[in-house]
Amino acid sequence: MLEWFLGRWRATSRKIPASPPASVSPLAPETPGWPAHVAIIMDGNGRWANQRGLPRVAGHRAGMTRVREVIQACHEWGIPCLTLFAFSTENWKRPPHEVEFLMRLPEEFFRSEIDELVERDVRVRFIGDTHRLPPHTQAIVSRTLERTQGNRGLVVNFALNYGGRADIVEAVKAYAAEVAAGHANWDELNEERIGQRLSTAGLPDPDLVIRTSGELRLSNFLIWQAAYAELWFTDVLWPDFTREHLAQAIADYQRRKRRFGGIK
């Protein structure tokens, strides 16, 4: 699957304009192509609501509009893969009523958006321990996977009950089980074999990780996969994040020189 992504990325990078939409300053012609995988930590819904005297859940609902807009932008611009941090393994610590609301949001979102996602040839994936989710949330996850599994366009990963450390632990457990069954050897364990057992197996590592709301940390998000990702932070709260902000993040990414520990 990784080979398919790389092939599609090369093909789309030749037909995508060298610069983002007109609302962003044009880029120099020597800038590199757009990222193959963009990952976003969607932060600031609660603060957005508090600033307006609204309950925190109002911010989460407002954030859904931005999810729709970002997916549409990535589809139109030919970005092959988008990962959205929807709910972390640590978010269970939040007040029960807020957690319950967050567990209902996937139903609301996919019931209203699934037909358009199918029409746009978007394939939806979920990473994280979805087995801990409430039955009604698991049901919409299953239906969404079934409806979009044959699509070949933009892949959208929703990180739902996801934690980067847990992802690595599960990968090691999977390899240990193979060793116990006699199908693998501990001496052969390396980074590639760990990567093949992560929840993002088959997808390119994120090139660009965006976090909204002014916080400057990864918060246990794709910590293995994002080892060499370019990080982009903004004070803009997620419900105010538009495709223009996304275009600016991509423009800044294109201006950076990625050396991966080497020298250019």
For residue 9, which of 67, 74, 62, 57 has the smallest C-alpha distance? 74
Phi and psi of 152, rounded to 5°?
A: -125, 10
- d(Cα 130, Cα 142) in Å, to the nearest integer? 10
Q: Which one of 50, 91, 185, 190 is the catalytic residue?
A: 91
Catalytic (active site) residue 43: yes
In DSSP terms, 40 is beta-bridged to 84, 210
Catalytic (active site) residue 167: no
Residues catalogued as catalytic: 43, 91
